[in-house]
């Protein structure tokens, strides 16, 4: 205990003065007092026999000394170090993403963040009009409790929150929180997180008033950040499985990766994970039926959520490709070599007779009599509804940029590729530009409805591209991306927290979903529903769906490098020039003088009550 005004203890000198008054000779003066209970034994004395007398046991003296002592303590203003109360609007954002499951805090980062948030609720100054909102940023941003001053409701909201296996959704939660504090200069956002946030640049120019409560201590983690399955180019009867394992520690780690098919272990590999690096791992496995491959990383770390990933693998089917061209031997040979399952057909036109017979249609500088309804690669041709008019032409456009992170440009380079002329268009809303010239995009890929489209804005024969190795690689990527079987396989792999969507070929009114924990949930669909949507994918693993007589499975995985890097961030970057530093809890002065003053009042009321009790 400390004191804000210790000089008030000088008033304690009045304590011996009170005792001295009881020792001195008394001169009786008649006074009117509210109570004579403690004075009666002295009423018979009219004078003292000596200037000083022996101090006798006297309850009145003890009460006066106690009352004076309490008043001195109240004037000294004692205090203890504690947490300051909150008197304004507070928005609590609790991070419930996968990295919050790390066990470097006891028992986990999420539980530590919840404990700190509950302490903030306890410090809420209800008497000063304090209110609080609780947001949980898990698979989705969820308002667990709207603005209230009821601490019991706030505690229930926090205690009912659950951590997920999904990547962070903090940007979405902060957007909601920002709307709640808008036009409230006394409001604050309190974020309880480890700071594993990929991008917050959108808040750079906003008055966010963010208080960042950091949780977490270390970065002892390795995790699977990518998992894909492809046909083995050397043996079509086998599958090639590609994994990427990231080690975020500052030292190398010996680990083991186990591969299972439909729950049966088929292969184990020992790997050395280099410090702060990503290690590729490849498995070659035989497959005789559709099934689920599961990879499991066995290593000592603080986060288990990223140590396992699954992928649904469907048996490869032949890809029926129709090339509509006036004659392009480069294109024909590249498409024929695009894959072992490619069945290439040639035609001079595409008509309604070809509808539904081919998986991919390639239009090479030919305007068809009827545009394909399926997936299409259009080279130097486009219908009028794809782009805004007018469509111009540019001479010798230089290639200044290409998006090599897109699946279509995997292992593709446009160095030394020269183009004689190309169509000039504006980037449409349905697609993303993959290759750019200064005046126009040159290659665009996207999806319109359920149709995938790749558009090349120049005639390949009027360029040097067919002479480069990147040309057949690009076409192999295009066939794989446009293949409906590839799109079908992709829909069975979702990020944890994202919705699974499945088009319905026939009406279905009911079904069920079995989650990774074995819990079965029934589903009711409207008779006119054309799509099945399941959004409860916050837990990673295999989900098995029963829709009428159809049975299928899809996998939900974390597969997020930013989430696997569990190193706590000391600062949050809001764009290039704005940072929010992690706050530390500071002690505040919690004064107790009011309690001592109330105790003095209680002593006086106690004496009054005792007198009336004895005289009643």
Tens of pLDDT along 156-190? 999 999 999 999 888 889 999 999 888 888 889 99
- Residue 313 included in any domain: no
Tens of pLDDT along 245-263? 999 999 999 999 999 999 9
Which of 488, 521, 545 terminates a domain? The answer is 488
pLDDT at 317 over 70: yes
pLDDT band at 484; cut points 50, 70, 90: confident
- Residue 549 included in any domain: yes
In this structure, are 60 and 94 located in the same domain? no
SS3 content of the chain, % helix, strand, coil (to 5): 25, 35, 40
Q: What is the pLDDT of residue 15?
A: 73
**Helix H or strand E segment including 112:** helix 109-122
In this structure, are 341 and 476 located in the same domain? yes
Taking the C-alpha atoms of residue 234 and residue 238, their distance in angstroms, rounded to an integer, is 9
Q: What percent of the chain has pLDDT over 90?
A: 51
Q: Between these two residues, 283 and 127, which has the higher pLDDT value?
A: 283
In this structure, are 552 and 606 located in the same domain? no
Three-state helix/strand/coil letters over 136-199: EECCCEEEEEEEECCHHHHHHHHHCCCCCCCCCCHHHHHHHHHHHHCCCCCCEEEEEECCCCCC
Among 93-102, 254-263, 575-584, the least confident range: 575-584
Taking the C-alpha atoms of residue 306 and residue 598, their distance in angstroms, rounded to an integer, is 58
In this structure, are 473 and 499 located in the same domain? no
Q: Between these two residues, 496 and 62, which has the higher pLDDT value?
A: 496
Q: Which of 176, 229, 186 is nearest to 209 (CA)?
A: 186
Q: What is the pLDDT of residue 384?
A: 82
- Residue 282 included in any domain: no
Taking the C-alpha atoms of residue 492 and residue 176, their distance in angstroms, rounded to an integer, is 31
Q: What percent of the chain has pLDDT over 70?
A: 86
Count up the domains in the chain and report the number: 4
pLDDT at 56 over 70: no
Q: What is the pLDDT of residue 507?
A: 86
pLDDT band at 46; cut points 50, 70, 90: very low
Region 604-608 average pLDDT: 74
In this structure, are 368 and 408 located in the same domain? yes
pLDDT band at 33; cut points 50, 70, 90: low
Tens of pLDDT along 199-231? 787 887 777 888 999 999 988 999 999 998 888
Q: Between these two residues, 177 and 597, which has the higher pLDDT value?
A: 177
pLDDT at 50 over 80: no
pLDDT at 129 over 70: yes
Taking the C-alpha atoms of residue 93 and residue 141, their distance in angstroms, rounded to an integer, is 9
pLDDT at 35 over 50: yes
- Residue 581 included in any domain: yes
Q: What is the pLDDT of residue 425?
A: 93
Among 453-467, 479-493, 537-551, the least confident range: 479-493
Tens of pLDDT along 9-20? 777 777 777 777
Q: Read off the CATH number of the domain in which 526 is found.
A: 2.60.40
pLDDT band at 85; cut points 50, 70, 90: very low
In this structure, are 474 and 328 located in the same domain? yes
Tens of pLDDT along 557-578? 999 998 999 999 988 888 777 7
In this structure, are 416 and 529 located in the same domain? no
In this structure, are 577 and 550 located in the same domain? no
pLDDT band at 344; cut points 50, 70, 90: very high
Region 427-432 average pLDDT: 92
Taking the C-alpha atoms of residue 81 and residue 162, their distance in angstroms, rounded to an integer, is 32
In this structure, are 477 and 515 located in the same domain? no
**Neighbouring C-alpha atoms within 13 Å toward the C-beta of 4:** 13
Answer for the pair 219, 566: CB distance below 8 angstroms, yes or no: yes
Cβ neighbours, 10 Å, residue 115: 13
Which of 456, 488, 520 terminates a domain? The answer is 488
Query: How many Å is the maximal CA-CA distance in the chain?
Result: 138
Phi-psi region of 471 (alpha: psi -120 to 50; beta: other; left: phi over 0): alpha
pLDDT at 488 over 90: no
In this structure, are 459 and 436 located in the same domain? yes
Which residues, at least 6 apart from 185, have a Cβ–Cβ distance to it below 8 Å? none
Does residue 517 have a cis peptide bond before it, meaning omega lies within 30 degrees of 0?
no
Q: Read off the CATH number of the domain in which 199 is found.
A: 3.40.50.410
Which of 473, 488, 503 terminates a domain? The answer is 488
Q: What is the pLDDT of residue 534?
A: 94
- Residue 185 included in any domain: yes
256-276 burial, b for 16+ CB within 10 Å, e for fewer? ebebbbeeeeeeeeebebeee
pLDDT band at 405; cut points 50, 70, 90: confident
In this structure, are 433 and 473 located in the same domain? yes
pLDDT at 586 over 50: no
pLDDT at 52 over 70: no
Taking the C-alpha atoms of residue 36 and residue 43, their distance in angstroms, rounded to an integer, is 9
- Residue 375 included in any domain: yes
Taking the C-alpha atoms of residue 219 and residue 567, their distance in angstroms, rounded to an integer, is 4
pLDDT at 353 over 60: no
Q: What is the pLDDT of residue 10?
A: 79
- Residue 247 included in any domain: no
In this structure, are 472 and 327 located in the same domain? yes
Which class for 118: exposed (0-12), middle (13-18), buried (19 or more C-beta within 10 A)? middle
Taking the C-alpha atoms of residue 52 and residue 24, their distance in angstroms, rounded to an integer, is 5
- Residue 311 included in any domain: no
Enclosing domain of residue 7: 2-81+593-615
Q: Read off the CATH number of the domain in which 331 is found.
A: 3.40.50.880
């Amino acid at each position: 205990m400390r004191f804000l005004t210790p000089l008030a203890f000088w008033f304690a000198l009045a304590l011996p003065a009170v005792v001295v008054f009881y020792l001195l000779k008394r001169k009786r003066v008649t006074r009117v007092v509210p109570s004579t209970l403690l004075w009666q034994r002295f009423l018979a004395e009219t004078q003292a026999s000596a200037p000083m007398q022996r101090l006798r046991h006297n309850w009145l003296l003890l009460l006066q000394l106690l009352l004076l002592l309490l008043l001195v303590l109240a004037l000294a203003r004692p205090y203890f170090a504690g947490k300051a109360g909150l008197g304004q609007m507070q928005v609590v954002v609790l991070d419930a993403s996968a990295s919050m499951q790390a066990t470097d805090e006891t028992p986990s980062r999420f539980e530590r963040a919840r404990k700190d948030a509950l302490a903030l609720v306890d410090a809420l100054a209800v008497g000063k009009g304090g209110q609080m909102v609780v947001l949980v940023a898990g698979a989705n941003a969820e308002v667990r409790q709207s603005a209230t001053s009821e601490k019991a409701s706030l505690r229930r909201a926090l205690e009912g929150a659950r951590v997920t296996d999904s990547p962070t959704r903090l940007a979405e939660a902060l957007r909601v929180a920002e709307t709640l504090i808008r036009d409230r200069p006394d409001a604050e956002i309190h974020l309880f997180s480890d700071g594993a946030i990929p991008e917050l640049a959108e808040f750079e120019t906003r008055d966010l008033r963010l208080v960042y409560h950091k949780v977490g201590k270390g970065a002892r983690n390795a995790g699977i950040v990518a998992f894909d399955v492809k046909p083995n180019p050397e043996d079509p009867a086998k599958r090639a499985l590609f994994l990427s394992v990231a080690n975020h520690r500052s030292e190398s780690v010996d680990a083991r990766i186990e591969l299972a098919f439909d729950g049966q272990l088929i292969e184990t590999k020992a790997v050395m994970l280099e410090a702060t690096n990503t290690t590729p791992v490849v498995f070659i496995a035989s497959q005789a039926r559709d099934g689920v491959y599961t990879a499991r990383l066995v290593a000592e770390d603080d986060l288990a959520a990223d140590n396992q990933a699954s992928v649904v693998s469907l048996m490869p089917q032949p890809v029926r490709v129709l090339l509509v061209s006036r004659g392009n031997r480069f294109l024909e040979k590249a498409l024929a070599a695009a894959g072992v399952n490619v069945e290439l057909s040639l035609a001079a036109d595409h008509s309604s007779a070809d509808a539904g017979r081919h998986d991919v249609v390639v239009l090479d500088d030919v305007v068809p009599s009827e545009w394909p309804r399926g997936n299409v690669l259009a080279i130097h041709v486009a219908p009028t509804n794809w782009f805004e008019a007018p469509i111009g032409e540019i001479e010798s456009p230089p290639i200044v940029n290409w998006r090599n992170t897109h699946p279509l440009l995997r292992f593709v380079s446009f160095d030394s590729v020269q183009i004689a002329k190309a169509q000039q268009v504006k980037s449409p809303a349905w697609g993303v530009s993959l290759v750019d010239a200064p005046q126009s995009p040159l290659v665009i890929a996207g999806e319109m409805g359920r149709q995938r489209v790749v558009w090349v804005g120049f005639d390949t024969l009027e360029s040097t591209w067919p002479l480069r190795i990147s040309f057949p690689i690009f076409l192999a990527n295009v066939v794989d991306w446009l293949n409906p079987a590839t799109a079908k396989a992709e829909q069975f792999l979702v990020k944890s927290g994202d919705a699974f969507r499945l088009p319905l070929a026939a009406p279905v009114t009911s079904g069920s979903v079995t989650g990774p924990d074995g819990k079965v949930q029934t589903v009711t669909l409207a008779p006119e529903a054309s799509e099945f949507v399941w959004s409860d994918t916050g837990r990673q693993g295999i989900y098995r769906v029963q829709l009428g007589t159809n049975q299928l499975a899809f996998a939900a995985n974390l597969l997020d490098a930013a989430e696997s890097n569990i190193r706590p961030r000391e600062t949050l970057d809001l764009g290039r020039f704005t940072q929010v530093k992690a706050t530390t809890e500071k002690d505040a002065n919690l004064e107790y003088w009011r309690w001592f003053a109330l105790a003095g009042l209680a002593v006086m009321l106690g004496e009054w009550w005792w007198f009336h009790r004895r005289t009643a």
